[in-house]
Amino acid sequence: MRADIPGELTKRLAAAQSVCVLTGSGVSAESGVPTFRDAQTGLWAKFQPEELATMEAFQRDPSLVWEWYQWRRKLVRQARPNPAHSALADLEQMFPHFSLISQNVDGLHQAAGSRNMIEFHGNIMRTICADEGCVIEDYDASESPPPCPNCGAYLRPDVVWFGEQIDKQALDAAIAYASACDVFFAIGTSAQVQPAAGLAELAIQSGACMVEINPQQTLLSDRVSYAIHGNAAQVLPALIRALRGRFRERKQ
Ligand code: OAD
């Protein structure tokens, strides 16, 4: 599939000083990590969020929740960054100010080389004490879930569950980036989960040029300056090529 990048968009981007990107699970879809809400293939088409991704669920059936995350960890361990992740790492090098806010918990942006990034919903590979919140690296993995070696409480993955707060530092930084950027990208997200989706709203209200990359229509699509319908792994490399062409023209 060939992705068409509007010339006006590359012109606007080439003039931008500050770019902010919000990504969602669609960016990792082509790495084999399932999305949440896609019909048939999304995780929430097969599982109930309230049975697996809440503190109440963990208290009710800690073993079920731990095992489900162990299964997802296995998928993530097998996954490699795709061209969308690599293109975003390249994009970071092209602007004086660049920030990436990801709802993804798979670590693939960092594996591709992204540096200034916020893990808005945590990281599935990290393990924390469910009571104290501290990161635990060594534990007895034979139990399900394993006990905290310090206090004996259960261990859990370091992800934000429904009903839990986003880390304050991450939220404050994300709000600052979204409200001060020239161009804001929403990529591979259905924009249905708050407060992440609100960052796009904030950028629109702050006057940013809003770009969406998604094969499907979303809640944001009618409000954006540019909606590019396609897969991130095709559209983003095409965007980088177009932008490099524009920068070359400017130098000549
Ligand atoms: P969703 O599953 O809600 O949305 C994924 C989006 O990716 C959809 O709009 C798809 O159309 C799009 N998509 C699918 N394949 C794509 C591709 N190859 N390229 C680009 N886009 C593609 O996932 P999120 O928006 O990430 O929260 O969901 C947000 C949060 O809801 C997640 O972080 C998770 C979930 O519950 C927590 O776990 C706290």
Task: Give the pLDDT confidence of 6-44 residue by residue, as tens digits.
Answer: 999 999 999 999 999 999 999 999 999 999 998 888 888
For residue 41, the model assigns a pLDDT of 85
* 3-state secondary structure (DSSP) of residue 122: strand
122-129/155-159 β-pairing:
antiparallel
> What's the pLDDT at 46?
85
In the set 85, 97, 109, 121, the catalytic residue is 121
In this prediction, residue 1 has a pLDDT band, given cuts at 50, 70 and 90, of low
Q: Is the CB of 114 under 6 A from ligand 1?
A: no
Pair 3, 234: CB distance under 8 Å: yes
pLDDT band with cut points at 50, 70 and 90 for residue 223: very high
Q: pTM of the predicted model, to two decimals?
A: 0.96
Domain boundaries, the chain: 1-33+81-121+166-252, 38-78+123-159
3-state helix, strand and coil shares in percent for the chain, rounded to the nearest 5: 40, 15, 40
The reply to whether ligand 1 has any atom less than 6 angstroms from the CB of 189 is: yes
Cβ of residue 129 lying under 6 Å from some atom of ligand 1: no
Ligand 1: distance of its center to the CA of 26 in Å?
5
CATH class of residue range 1-33+81-121+166-252: alpha beta
3-state secondary structure 207-243: CCEEEEECCCCCCCHHHCCEEECCCHHHHHHHHHHHH
> For the domain 38-78+123-159, what is the CATH code?
3.30.1600.10
What are 36-69's pLDDT values in tens digits? 998 888 888 888 888 899 999 999 999 999 999 9
Of all protein residues, the one whose alpha carbon is nearest to atom 32 of ligand 1 is: 103
Whether 81 is in the pocket of ligand 1, judged by its Cβ within 6 Å, is no
Nearest atom, ligand 1, residue 161 CA: 39
Q: Give the model confidence (pLDDT) of 143-160 as tens digits.
A: 999 999 999 999 999 999
Q: How many residues does the chain have?
A: 252
For residue 42, the ligand 1 atom closest to its alpha carbon is 2
Q: Is the CB of 107 under 6 A from ligand 1?
A: no
* Chain mean position to CA 78: 18
Q: What is the mean pLDDT of residues 81-96?
A: 98
Predicted confidence at residue 2, as pLDDT, reads 63
In angstroms, the CA 1 to CA 10 distance is: 20
Average pLDDT over residues 81-88: 98
Supply the pLDDT for residue 50.
Answer: 83
